Copies of this chain bind each other. A is one copy, B any other.
Amino acid sequence: MIILEDVSKSYSTGAPALNGISLHIEPGEFVFIVGDSGSGKSTLIKLLLRELTPTSGKIFVNKYDLSKLKRRKIPKFRRNIGVVFQDFRLLKDRNVYENVAFAQRVIEVPPREMRKNVPSMLSMVGLAEKYKARPRELSGGEQQRVALARALVNKPPILLADEPTGNLDPKNSWEIMKLLEEINKSGTTVLVVTHNREIVNAMRKRVITMKKGIIVSDEKKGGYIDED
């Protein structure tokens, strides 16, 4: 499903954010990506979405060779991926309902279905009552859940979630993780970047640990690796 071959990414300034990463993720896997702040986790997610292009190396996602993907084909490619961005990236001047519905509109879901899917997704993340609010009228955790609802509403074959519980209380975080696990069980490949040691240790999934742009460990049924 996701293959990285010796991928590096350098921004115009500073040390390379990714430094020769190779990685295979099979369809239907549930993978945690953990690592220090600034170790390149978000960069990796952005590469998989083709928001960024790698400086070198090859990336395959969902059978697309990203280095050969034509600009025209990018939207089609992205429609198979649900993403939760670390900074949410909600549409500021649309309300919660419209933010989630937008993902459905993009894949041209018939309006009748959309009017069922969106509210049911919103109530799954506990925001059924807030559907009329604008993003700036929401608390941090509420915004994060809108972002999650938008990523999940299309039931995409791949889900990339960058720190989806950073602003959520432990109870909410657990509920969200259970939701992701469920979605994974129905066939979606799930990649979750997180700092939540408790959750990573409890769920016993594949854990990829990054440090300064390289993968320092990759364990099936792993846990959060502490240096100290």
> In whole angstroms, what is the CA distance A130 to B15 when docked?
11
Q: With A34-B169, A37-B145 known to touch, is A140 a contact of B87 (CB < 8 Å)?
A: yes
Binding stretch for chain B, among A24-32, A108-116, A170-178: A170-178
CB-based contact B13/A137 at 8 Å = yes
A37 touches B172 (CB 8 A): yes
Nearest B residue to A34, CB-CB: B169
For the complex, is A167 an interface residue (Cβ under 8 Å from B)? yes
How many chain copies? 2
Central interface residue in A37, A162, A163, A166, by most chain B CB within 10 Å: A37
CB atoms of A14 and B87 under 8 A apart: no
Q: Which residues in window 9-33 of A have CB below 8 A to B?
A: 11, 13-14
- Tell me which residues from 186 to 210 in chain A have a Cβ below 8 Å from any Cβ of chain B: 195, 197-198
* Complex contact A171–B227 (CB within 8 A): yes
Given contacts A38-B139, A133-B13, contact A169 B145 (CB under 8 A): no
Which residues in B have their C-beta under 8 angstroms from that of A13? 132-133, 137
Query: Which residues of A are at the interface with B, using a C-beta cutoff of 8 A?
Result: 11, 13-14, 34-38, 41-42, 86-87, 129-130, 132-133, 137-142, 144-145, 162-163, 166-173, 195, 197-198, 224, 226-228
Give me 13 other A-B pairs in contact (C-beta within 8 A), A13-B132, A35-B169 excluded.
A14-B129, A14-B137, A34-B169, A37-B140, A37-B168, A37-B169, A38-B139, A38-B142, A86-B167, A168-B195, A170-B197, A171-B226, A171-B228
**Can you list 12 A-B pairs with a CB-CB distance of less than 8 A?**
A14-B130, A14-B137, A37-B169, A37-B172, A86-B167, A140-B163, A163-B167, A167-B195, A168-B195, A171-B226, A173-B195, A197-B198
